[in-house]
Amino acid sequence: MASHDQTHTNGTVSKKPKLRPSQITDAEIQTEFSHHDPTVARLNNGAFGCCPSSVLRAQREWQLKFLRQPDHFYFNYLKKGILHSRTIIKELVNANHVDEISIVDNASTATAIVLQQATWAFHEGRFNKGDAVVMLHYAYGSVKKAIEAYVTRAGGRVIEVHLPFPITSEDDIIREFRHALEKAKSEGNNNKVRLAVIDHVTSMPSVVIPVKKLVQICKEEGVDQVFVDAAHAIGCIPRVDMQEIGADIYTSNLHKWFFCPSSVAFIYARKSANSFDLHHPVVSHEYGNGLAIESAWIGNRDYSAQLVVPTVMEFVNRFEGGIEGIKKRNHDRVIEMGEMLVEAWGTHLGTPHNMSASMVMVGLPSCLGIMSDCDAMNLRTYLREFFKVEVPIYFRDGVGEVGGVTGYARISYQVYNKVEDYYKFRDAINKLVSDGFTCADLNTSTNGTVV
pLDDT in tens, 309-330: 999 999 999 999 999 999 999 9
Walk along the chain (451 residues) and give the pLDDT tens digit of each residue: 343 444 343 444 444 445 456 799 999 999 999 999 999 999 999 999 999 999 999 999 999 999 999 999 999 999 999 999 999 999 999 999 999 999 999 999 999 999 999 999 999 999 999 899 999 999 998 999 999 999 999 999 999 999 989 999 999 999 999 999 988 877 766 779 999 999 999 999 999 999 999 999 999 999 999 999 999 999 999 889 999 999 999 999 999 999 999 989 999 999 876 666 899 999 999 999 999 999 999 999 999 999 999 999 999 999 999 999 999 999 999 999 999 999 999 999 999 999 999 999 999 999 999 999 999 999 999 999 999 999 999 998 765 456 789 999 999 999 999 999 999 999 999 999 999 999 999 875 444 444 5
Q: Say how many C-beta atoms besides its own lie within 10 A of residue 302's C-beta.
A: 13
pLDDT in tens, 384-421: 999 999 999 999 876 545 678 999 999 999 999 999 99
| Beta carbons of 158 and 150 less than 8 angstroms apart | no
DSSP state of 366: G
The pLDDT, as a whole number, for residue 369 is 93
The pLDDT, as a whole number, for residue 114 is 95
Distance of alpha carbon 381 from alpha carbon 439, whole angstroms: 11
| Beta carbons of 205 and 394 less than 8 angstroms apart | yes
- Sheet of 407-412, strands arranged across: 359-363, 407-412, 393-395
The torsion angles phi and psi of 112, rounded to 5 degrees, stand at: -60, -40
State whether residue 201 is helix, strand or coil: strand
Of residues 185, 224, 216, 201, the one with CA closest to residue 139: 201
| Beta carbons of 57 and 31 less than 8 angstroms apart | no
The pLDDT, as a whole number, for residue 399 is 56
Distance of alpha carbon 70 from alpha carbon 8, whole angstroms: 44
Strands 407-412 and 359-363: antiparallel
pLDDT above 70 covers what percent of the chain?
Answer: 91
The pLDDT, as a whole number, for residue 107 is 95
- Sheet of 101-104, strands arranged across: 101-104, 265-269, 249-253, 225-229, 193-199, 132-136, 157-161
Mean pLDDT rounded to a whole number for the chain: 90
The pLDDT, as a whole number, for residue 401 is 58
The torsion angles phi and psi of 196, rounded to 5 degrees, stand at: -115, 125
Contacts of 226 (CB under 8 A, 6+ apart): 195, 196, 198, 214, 215, 218, 219, 246, 247, 248, 249
What type of residue is 341? L
Distance of alpha carbon 135 from alpha carbon 147, whole angstroms: 9
Distance of alpha carbon 43 from alpha carbon 41, whole angstroms: 6
Alpha helices in 187-210 (DSSP H): none
Distance of alpha carbon 370 from alpha carbon 437, whole angstroms: 11
